[in-house]
Copies of this chain bind each other. A is one copy, B any other.
């Protein structure tokens, strides 16, 4: 299938995925989750110095749109990239800002 022949539904799915990533805090989250790393909500909340509820909200968006997966272990929930190649997107765009 040619990439130009995406249906409106597929375009929307792609847009939702990118929209999920397209936020400063969520890009920062993805930068921390490269190389298969797994972090808890609290760890991210402390690393980014943003509210716990805001952190959970952002992680929920990334999970809902298929960017992250999560796994509960006891009291903690670990979040990690669903597809390793997704960090390429962040790398690509981030590098564009470092020129």
Contact = CB atoms under 8 A, between A and B. Distances in A.
A97 B88 CA distance: 16
A24 B12 contact: yes
A10 B88 contact: no
Contacts of A64: none
A83 B99 CA distance: 13
What does DSSP make chain A's interface, helix, strand, loop or mixed?
helix
A24 B4 contact: no
Classify chain A: how many residues form its interface, as a range.
35 or more
Contacts of A19: 19, 22-23
A90 B14 contact: yes
Contacts of A11: 24-25, 27-28
